Structure 1
Amino acid sequence: MTELTQADRAAFAADARAMLAAARSSSMRHFRRPFAVEAKEDESPVTVADRETEAAIRAEITRRFPGHGILGEEYGTDRLDAEFLWLVDPIDGTKSFISGHPMWGTLLALLHRGAPVVGLVDAPALGELAWGGPGLGAWLARPPAPDRALRLRTDVAPEAVFIAINEMQRILTHQPEALDALLAEGRYQRATADCYSYVQLAAGWIDGLVDYGLQPFDYLPVLPIVEAAGGVMTDWAGGPLGLQGDGRIVAGSPTVHARLLAVLAPFV
């Protein structure tokens, strides 16, 4: 396929939204209801909702785009070298899901030759969908209201910024000095979790975000949304994000992102 047109990107975004809508019942029929929780090899939890949701999305991808590849959290890779690659995280925030907390989400992204086309964060328990990509803008859908544009705020003084720290426990365990440095930055610091923090960033409700221990299906779906909203998102060293990475992420407006990179530089 030649380079994607604007119409191609819009069509893929519409298909992605439809696929998430089709899979939404797979997670919501289990939310706040009894189900078994298993532990993976890394001790992270997994449930029938994770597996059913990913299976539903993969089935939609295969039906609509049989030549595309898929990388998913629960069922691994299929044609990883395909021109088009979908990334699926069925329940980003399984701990939130099993505890009845509504801030979990289903993540979906499409890459074309390794570059993001569209990324989506579906938050079924909140009734919200954030989506965006190059040439598409960044948007928050909350039906029946029209989609509204997302934009990072850029007018906050450095000493007044609100910084979210995802996976704070992991950072405390593995790089406690980095956590101490982050906790000294800005006006507010808050321990957060899961994908919705990136929606908060894109919407301008917080100013910076630091994350730790992520996989490509965790960060590549939110990358196009943050960038389309005017933000910068890299690894802790300032490097670009792709399928290979160490899972340490930093994001914010250009000014806040640069400041956080400087804070984290001794710990890279």
Structure 2
Amino acid sequence: MPLDTTLQAELIRVANLLADAARPETLLHFRTPALVADDKGGQVFDPVTVADRAAEQAMREIIARERPQDGILGEEYGETPGTSGLTWVLDPIDGTRGYISGTPTWGVLISVADETGPLFGIIDQPYIGERFIGGFGIAEVTGPRGTHTLECIAQSKLSDATVLTTFPEVGTADEGRAFYAVAGQAKLTRYGMDCYAYALLAAGQVDLVIEAGLNAYDIQAPISVIQAAGGIVTDWDGGPAHHGGRALAAANPDIHAEAMAILQESLNG
């Protein structure tokens, strides 16, 4: 059921409060010699910093004050149930590996979702000062060059496309082969973008983002922003992607269909 405009405006206001609160917490430690990253464990290095924890805590405090009836799903502090049917999905630093390396491709991901998926989302890049917003009839970026409408590339084909992903070793071996089957037919492939890849797709700079092994908090804000900008985000089978796993984000239906056909052929052939 669609939310009324008063509630939409309230959720937009709170989402921006969350992004405003997370910015100073992340910038306080970014590119400082004292920054230390702990390893969450697992088969590969999975860092977390004091900035991840502080940013999520600051956002949770605002939700507790402004929207105590809502649930929360956060990367660092897990799930807090609510009673409203709405859940704030938070990734305080998406791209912590980039963050500790000093690159500006990380970001703060904020979305609000109901049982059907994300309704509104923000991709915020504090160091550059860019905020990408999508949902409730809004698709815009605010940054050093002012405020501009977000709009995905309306028409493109894979042979002319730029494809982005975060890790060269995409997911499992089978998933990696499927990704490279697509990338091998594209004009340009770039790596290491974290959530900024999705922002660039919404801004009309690139054509595809293809990833695997995602969590819900990695993808829900990008889904909102890209869909508001006219793009498409599904899993590799064409279904919903908001629970995580595999994601195929495309600027338009034609290149989405072209990429998905190749992914499916590689996985199932």
Distance 1:67 1:154, change over 3 A: same
> How far off is 1:22 after superposition?
2.0
Distance 1:85 1:219, change over 3 A: same
Match of 1:129 among 111, 128, 131: 131
> How far off is 1:210 after superposition?
0.3
Match of 2:216 in 1: 216
> How far off is 1:5 after superposition?
1.7
Match of 2:161 in 1: 161
Q: What is the distance in 1 between the residues matched to 2:88 and 2:49?
A: 22
Q: Summarize the alignment of residues 44-63 of structure 1 with structure 2, pairs less than 5 Å apart.
A: 44-63=46-65
> After the TM superposition, which of the residue ranges 59-68 and 34-43 deviates more from structure 2?
34-43
One-letter code aligned to 1:248: R
One-letter code aligned to 1:229: A
> How far off is 1:234 after superposition?
0.5
Asked if 1 retains the 8 angstrom alpha-carbon contact of 2:117 and 2:220, the reply is no
Unaligned runs of 5+ in 1: none
Match of 2:70 in 1: 68
Q: What is the distance in 2 between the residues matched to 1:25 and 1:93?
A: 17
Q: How many residue pairs get matched?
A: 263
Q: What is the distance in 2 between the residues matched to 1:81 and 1:141?
A: 33
> After the TM superposition, which of the residue ranges 234-243 and 75-84 deviates more from structure 2?
75-84
Q: What is the distance in 2 between the residues matched to 1:203 and 1:3?
A: 26
Q: What is the distance in 2 between the residues matched to 1:31 and 1:165?
A: 23
Runs of 4+ displaced beyond 6 Å: none
Structure 2 length-normalised TM:
0.91
Q: Deviations over 1:183-209 (max 9, x none)?
A: 222211222331000010001100111
> How far off is 1:176 after superposition?
3.7
Percent of aligned positions that are identical: 34
One-letter code aligned to 1:242: H
Distance 1:13 1:254, change over 3 A: same
Asked if 1 retains the 8 angstrom alpha-carbon contact of 2:223 and 2:242, the reply is no
Unaligned runs of 5+ in 2: none
Match of 2:226 in 1: 226
Is 1:86 the equivalent of 2:88?
A: yes
Structure 1 length-normalised TM:
0.92
